[in-house]
Amino acid sequence: MRVFVDMLRCFKSYRMWTNQYVKESFYAKDSATRQDIGAKHLVKGLERDLWQKDFVANRRFLNKYSSKRYSLPSLSPKRVKAYQKRYNMGDGCFIEHDVELCRQHYLPGTIKIGRNVLLAKHVFIDYSGGVTIGDDSQITDGVKILTHYHMHHHVRSKSRLEEGNDVPLSLVVGKNAVIGTNTIIMASCSRIGNNVRIGAGAVVTKDVPDNATAVGIPAKVIKINE
């Protein structure tokens, strides 16, 4: 009972989770060590609280503005302005319904989208590792962009509970790129070049150079456009 009360006190004072309390053997530490460890967890805990607050706000935002209702001509401009403000988008962008942009697993990624960018319906962008999309690019129907992976999916991983389980990786999509319908861009891809064309249904696992056309699973460059 005493340990349980101590755990509750630590959560309130240091934002320390139960598994962290046990892992640190916090109950066995002296007062000075507890304060030192607790101060570090408090910083992380406050960051986590801010992340959770933003996550909830993002869910509410998407529930509202990604709905088909905001595809009506009278409401579509409001959707665009709302997305511009929340996701750091330039002018002249066009957003269809069911466009989901989000961060996951407490990762601190950011997103920046240029001018005149199309985000077509059913697009999903995970910007946990950070995403930048250049001017005049088109992210067409059903495209999925991933910028993190889980260590426990790796064949050499021993545990689902390893420290640093979620690994963020950034992505830059260049200017005037066209990502074809239902393409999946994996976290292992860090750059889609300028003027790139990705064929429909491709799975992009590696970087694609400027002016290239890439198709297939996994995507391969079949042509460099002049």
Distance from the Cα of residue 13 to its chain's centroid = 30
3-state DSSP helix/strand/coil percent for the chain, to nearest 5?
35, 20, 45
DSSP E strand boundaries for the chain:
94-95, 100-102, 111-113, 118-119, 124-126, 131-133, 138-139, 144-145, 148-150, 166-168, 171-173, 178-179, 184-185, 191-192, 197-198, 203-204, 212-215, 220-224
pLDDT in the model for residue 164: 55
What is the pLDDT confidence band of residue 133, given thresholds at 50, 70 and 90?
A: very high
Is residue 26 within 8 Å of residue 17, measured between CB atoms? no
Count CB atoms within 10 A of the CB of residue 117. Answer: 22
| DSSP β-ladder status, 178-179 and 138-139 | parallel
More confident residue, 116 or 24: 116
pLDDT in the model for residue 29: 75
pLDDT in the model for residue 185: 97
Q: Average pLDDT, stretch 24-53?
A: 81
Structure token digits, residue 39: 């101060």
Range with lowest mean pLDDT among 5-19, 50-64, 105-119, 121-135: 5-19
Distance from the Cα of residue 47 to its chain's centroid = 17
For residue 216, pLDDT beyond 70: yes
Q: Average pLDDT, stretch 106-115?
A: 95
What is the pLDDT confidence band of residue 90, given thresholds at 50, 70 and 90?
A: very high
Domains of the chain: 1-65 (no CATH), 73-224 (2.160.10.10)
Q: What distance in Å separates the CA atoms of residue 161 and residue 81, rounded to the nearest whole number?
A: 40
Q: Active-site residue numbers?
A: 150
Share of the chain above pLDDT 70, in %: 89
pLDDT in the model for residue 159: 47
Tell me the pLDDT of the chain averaged across its residues: 88
For residue 160, pLDDT beyond 50: no
